[in-house]
A and B are shown apart, each in its own frame.
Chain A
């Protein structure tokens, strides 16, 4: 048994729990047990912005410690554009110096000779993004939503989280998919799935038909700047280069063609960045969903995904766990596993290059 660094997930039917949280404290809008739809806002936070610091002491020509005599608005009071916020009568009351609000907003601070006004705050919202039920609330950050369904972890993603219908495009036996088969009527607002490497033409064509997302096996890293400019959510199951999709991942998406799916591009960052994934919520039926086990130790019989080497992208089963390290073609001596692949092929793969599927 060994501790593996990489974990991946391909599940046909499992229990999925997802935290949907704000990056700052806010208000929770759902209760435990409440059903949610993907576009429901589950938590909201207010980000104060558009501050205006007005030096009343200077504007009214009065000492800082006398300013409070001339203040017309107190913290918490709303203000309209041009509304007086401080005033001072001069020369026996014949002339009046006036300070007016430059914005519509609220007085948030008065003191030290100044008034701070705040404009309309920005609202940050978190959506449920998957259909399910609120399993837990995490005040003041967000909620945990639980659902049952299929789950496929991706290697890379970019764009906004999207919830739309999955439409598969199958490449011909020989050659590549013709981008012209993408159709504005059929693929508009869908998540297009192509079980093959993505090309620039496919990316452009998908945007051209106003699709919401595109999922493929891999793409050239040189296309990343283009993807970053497109209004399209993109997901890759394997990574960069020309790598074909594992049969397991392709089958999972094929069997769910036409269903509504969540394509979550994840967040990058080495500290708790989230992996991109596809979640397909499925109705509960007689089948018992699998419960993901945080089983981090690799054992004979476990499914693994090969991340490098000649069989990169393949999924196989661990057939043996040799006790001693072995020399691989690069010359490195490494601990690893014997993995049985299709067509009776067995290969030794270093642990570091395996993803434990659970």
Chain B
């Protein structure tokens, strides 16, 4: 089907664990643009137990904004679009909520195929509740007991490189077969095999013929020690996860029928956008999406796409995961105000875990929420970084061309300066990087759309679907605070060269440049170790809502130990962005 050719108006729906978002994209003057978004609480839990309620509420939100009828009298979507512009031509859908698939992962040794299997599972919101390996210290009997006690929905078997030894895999398959043999008929798990293809026949004999379980075969996740292939297993896992959702929650089946592409996992759709952005540019791209339950870190590095879904690291349901590795001081260090009791920073995060829907009502709440977002991003990066094929110093990032950040906490901040500051504080990039903010919550939708109509996705990004915060020039090193580290001259296209502005170490500067306006930025380093290359000295830039950003604070960020001094510095950094009204 020539999907690309038929792409007209598109309604993209994402059912998250907390909110359901609907995004309407349509052609204006022959070019796809973001038209409107709607949002409503996800209604998969009590008292609704049907995602359809939230789904329709999100669509009604768009109808309310645009006046465009999208639902018929029975509250079903109008497809295709009618001459009176009611309805849409197609719907695409993604979801991160729904009954999670409880799985057991079986393989050989930790760190290789088991790690690949775990990653594939996380990307598709499959919960790995136990891992059986040759190194787990349990006897076969104990492993069989563990499988029976867990009573998983799914057993994922991985392990063995292509052409590698098969004996150890045979032993693991036998363990699974024994456990399945002892399970009650009619309550046996599904099996997904993604290991050495040389043992597939044995899997068939032991599990399909021996125990009577249907096995799904996917490509080996680790055909060689150096190579990982997750696409096929992810596809199978996504289909299995969708099957569980459909059977356990009302509304998913209906959404699957509406959508051209079924209901894909949110992480898959998000990753597709980052991969797509990486392919259309000749630089590396990092995407980070801070969700309620999990945080997605997707990167296109040197043409390789890598993704990590950090489950249980989020700003709501996942807040307890963030708190596991941090103390109150790691949250309060980002605040411009002194809390009456430092412990309230931790209490705040726990309350956010209890009530993930809630939003900051006071200025202090907003600061605490953004502090939690910073620590969530940092924790997610710590998980993702070891899987990247680049050697990095601790807490550092590779040179990136673009960063796209999102999640309600960043996207809905009252001023884009709050979001930009949180992104720079948490990620601490070095070099020249373009910052995008998913302020409308369309990234997942664009990933879904990229599959359906790549051109439409590009057009929406370029027409403001993602908010261009600005190009950021970020210096490394630890120059003495106040020392001039570089001079920056901004020359808007068609205008005379601007004033040369000295930028001092420890400062954050927003150079005014209207959004979309091209300019030339000339940088003259005045200190050693700024981390800027020769090519960075003369740059073509496009203005963002914060103009052009120069982050000369150095890396790692110099955060004073003294509380008063630290709050002064935080206020200074914040005012650099907040006092410049977004253009």
Contact = CB atoms under 8 A, between A and B. Distances in A.
A100 interface: no
Contacts of A272: 45, 99
Contacts of A328: 361-362
Interface stretch (B343-351, B548-556, B565-573): B343-351
A39 to B, nearest CB: 25
A310 to B, nearest CB: 7
Given A271-B97, A353-B359, A332 B41 contact: no
Contacts of A332: 359-361, 366, 412-414
Chain B interface extent, by class: 35 or more
B354 interface: yes
Interface string B362-380: 1101100000000000000
Interface stretch (B139-147, B496-504, B522-530): B139-147
Q: Is the interface of B mostly helix, strand, loop or mixed?
A: loop
B47 interface: yes
Given A50-B145, A239-B350, A330 B357 contact: no
Contacts of B346: 221-222, 240
Contacts of A307: 351, 355, 358
B351 A25 contact: no
B565 to A, nearest CB: 26
Contacts of B187: 24-25
B145 A51 contact: yes
Interface string A10-36: 000000000000011100000000000
A321 B292 CA distance: 27
A155 B140 contact: no
A237 to B, nearest CB: 12
B362 A220 contact: no
B100 interface: yes
Interface string B24-49: 00000000000000001101111110
Contacts of B54: 3
A241 interface: yes
Contact of A296 (B48, B98, B151): B48
Interface in A287-309: 294, 296, 307-309
B317 A270 contact: yes
Interface string A52-76: 1100000000000000000000000
Contact of A6 (B43, B144, B357): B357
A240 B351 contact: yes
Nearest to B578: A331
B41 A108 contact: no
A352 B359 contact: yes
B415 interface: yes
Interface of A: 3-7, 23-25, 47-53, 108-109, 116, 118, 122, 155-156, 220-222, 224, 239-241, 270-272, 294, 296, 307-310, 328-334, 349-350, 352-353, 355, 358
Interface of B: 17-18, 40-41, 43-48, 53-54, 57, 97-100, 140-141, 144-145, 148-149, 151, 178, 181-182, 184, 187, 292-293, 317, 343-344, 346-351, 354-363, 365-366, 412-415
